Structure 1
């Protein structure tokens, strides 16, 4: 089974994926973002927008090689790996969704898709927490979002609007849900059984901060 966890940037996809992987024996995370950033880094700096120039490729999902490569790798993984495969990845374009999630279903794989949704202010708060590792004070001001998250903020309204469409179901509203509870809901809907969450609040906060820091992107 493949669990595709969709949602706006900063919506909790990565944290939820790691929570499921932590509590579901035999499961693995396959993050298509690695392939996307790798393809962008193949371009010379000036062609990927470094130094203020115009990026030749603004979104790596626009590359057919990314969409095709993601399907190829996930198809191979699902064919050879016995456990669940977890994919945290934002996809809002209907065509690209069909070329990835739809194509994997056409290949005969059991793909369960979930869109994590939340109110705009909730996502903005999570973006601030993500950037500061969920532990540091908001040095730049309570309501500000760090510059490195500006692209995510620009895409936020579009993401929330698109992912609310019926084709991107199952929809899970997470404003008042913790990451462990969201993971529990996904597991129930997918017919999976997670190990009990016996982790204390402090340890959860530290672990999530570590995950958040590891996934900060600077390019």
Structure 2
């Protein structure tokens, strides 16, 4: 089974995917973004565009996930923002047409909530930066995500991108629990303290920072 975790940039997809993976034995994370990064690395920087617009990205994501789903016994988790209906059809839809069991979830939150989460990628530096008059520095670093935010929220709210999960006041662990309950899999208990959970999420943020 494939769990595709969708949502706006900064909406909690990666954190949710890693929480599911941590607590679901035998699961693997297959990040479609890595296919896009590989395509970009093959090009000079001035030729790089949104990699989702490349047919090779959609084809590559389909082929990799089709192979993994056919050969791996456990749950496959794919955290990726996809908001264009045609791109969604050529990835999620095509995998379903190929006979794979695909469960899709769109993580939604209010605009301000997502902006706060984007700032939180600064690993707690937001209050310090605000004190020195640079409160928007972290968001400027995330300009692509900010520019796409309203469009992503509008698109992902549509029925074709269900199932929707509101995450404004819900912890990452609780979101993972809801997904697991919905698809009928059993997660290991979440025994993290508040501090352990925060440190774990910071580690995920560091590993996936775009430099």
**TM-score by structure 2 length?**
0.95
Match of 1:128 among 108, 111, 119: 119
CA shift for structure 1 position 177: 0.1
Match of 2:107 among 110, 116, 125: 116
CA shift for structure 1 position 31: 0.2
Q: Secondary structure at the match of 2:81?
A: coil
How far apart, CA to CA, are the structure 2 residues paired with 1:152 and 1:21?
25
CA shift for structure 1 position 38: 1.3
Write the deviation string for residues 71-96 of structure 1: whole angstroms up to 9, x where unpaired: 00000000000000000000000000
Question: Which consecutive unaligned segments of at least 5 residues does structure 2 have?
Answer: none
Confirm whether residue 157 of structure 1 aligns to residue 150 of structure 2.
yes
How far apart, CA to CA, are the structure 1 residues paired with 2:40 and 2:128?
31
Alignment of 1:1-219 (within 5 A): 1-48=1-48, 57=49, 59-130=50-121, 132-133=122-123, 135-141=124-130, 144=136, 145-218=138-211
How far apart, CA to CA, are the structure 2 residues paired with 1:185 and 1:46?
42
**TM-score by structure 1 length?**
0.92
Question: Which consecutive unaligned segments of at least 5 residues does structure 1 have?
Answer: 49-56
CA shift for structure 1 position 137: 4.2
How far apart, CA to CA, are the structure 2 residues paired with 1:180 and 1:215?
19
